[in-house]
Amino acid sequence: MGPLLSVLDVRRYYEVRRSVFSVEKEIIRAVDGVSFELEAGHTLGVVGESGSGKSTLARCLMFLERPDSGKVIFDGVDLLNSSPAEIRKVRRKLQIIFQDPYSSLNPRMTVRDIIAEPIKFHHIVKGQKALNDKVVDVLNSVGLNGDFLKKYPHEMSGGQRQRVAIGRALATEPALIIADEPVSSLDVSIQAQIINLFIDIREKLNIAMIFVSHDLNIVRFISDTILVLYKGKVVEMGERDQVFLNPRHPYTKMLIDAAKGEFSLKSEPAETPEPGQCPYYDTCKDRKPVCRSQSPELTGDNGHKVACLKGAP
């Protein structure tokens, strides 16, 4: 059996006007040729700063956004070239969790209804009794008890709301969960609880995850594989320990240093990157003349790939 998810050369560009009155248009390459594979039960951490394209990538995988080109094959189904009926069949196996549970949960629904809705929609169980049991099961699996059934989102803390959002995603018994910054809006002391919950779920239910975050510390604990995005391109990808202990791209190194509290002062970056050069050229500490004229390809073996002329083996 092949991988659970194959992403092949996915691109998503946006055309924007330079200003309100301008006719001049600029193309933003939000996701620019991203490819990776994810095995069942594995966790991929996608790291990047705001503007790196990580959320657009997540949205492309979730059909919230249609890529301009490329292929997304999930569980054997080519998501971009299939009929709605075929997509509906795999849809329940693919779930998403957003950053802010306060805006992703319907404020007028109780926790019971929030979790029951996808179970009913996808006909996961038959009969009222089975439905009620399933809802309670799901609640327990995210560390909440039956007292929460009748609560509304505003009656809960941020951490509890995110647990409900995770429960709603688990309710359809998915094979893959995509979590976009799932702990960023939570207090530091609560973040660790939710990350532990993700680790529990992965162990118990063998669900694959794509964990999108700007925070390396968070991704580090939970991921098997790390993918580092910069300006829509994958600049480094590899096994967790390879990337963390032996980072090859200067951008990854900078992120790791920052996560350790080692900030470095740099000069003002140039504003517009020139075409045909390494996307990281302007801010790179280790740049060479060749980096100005050549955009590096992602090279290396499956355990560790890097798109840097200097870091490539």
Query: Residues interacting with other proteins, by CB under 8 A?
Result: 49-51, 157, 159-160, 187-193, 195-196, 199, 214, 217, 221, 254-255, 258-269, 271, 283
Nearer to other proteins, 138 or 254 (CB): 254
- Is residue 256 a contact partner of residue 246, using CB atoms and an 8 Å limit? no
Nearer to other proteins, 6 or 283 (CB): 283
Pairing of strands 299-301, 94-97: unpaired
Q: How far is the CB of 74 from other proteins (least distance, A)?
A: 28
Q: How far is the CB of 184 from other proteins (least distance, A)?
A: 11
Q: How far is the CB of 186 from other proteins (least distance, A)?
A: 9
310/280 Cα distance (integer angstroms): 12
Nearer to other proteins, 199 or 312 (CB): 199
Starting at the edge strand found earlier in the chain, the sheet holding 43-47 runs: 94-97, 176-180, 208-213, 43-47, 225-230, 233-239, 304-306, 299-301
* Token pair of 113 as six digits: 């209804």
- Is residue 30 a contact partner of residue 232, using CB atoms and an 8 Å limit? yes
3 state SS of 223: coil
In 3D space, the residue among 295, 296, 312, 293 whose CA is nearest the CA of residue 304 turns out to be: 312
228/160 Cα distance (integer angstroms): 30
Nearer to other proteins, 45 or 118 (CB): 45
Nearer to other proteins, 19 or 128 (CB): 19
Q: How far is the CB of 264 from other proteins (least distance, A)?
A: 5
Q: How far is the CB of 126 from other proteins (least distance, A)?
A: 36
Nearer to other proteins, 128 or 264 (CB): 264
Q: How far is the CB of 284 from other proteins (least distance, A)?
A: 11
Q: How far is the CB of 187 from other proteins (least distance, A)?
A: 4
The separation between CA 220 and the C-alpha centre of its own chain, rounded to angstroms, equals: 14
Nearer to other proteins, 28 or 258 (CB): 258
Give the number of other CB atoms < 10 A from CB of residue 133.
12
* Token pair of 31 as six digits: 């996701």
3 state SS of 79: helix
Please name the residue that has the structure tokens 């040729």: 33
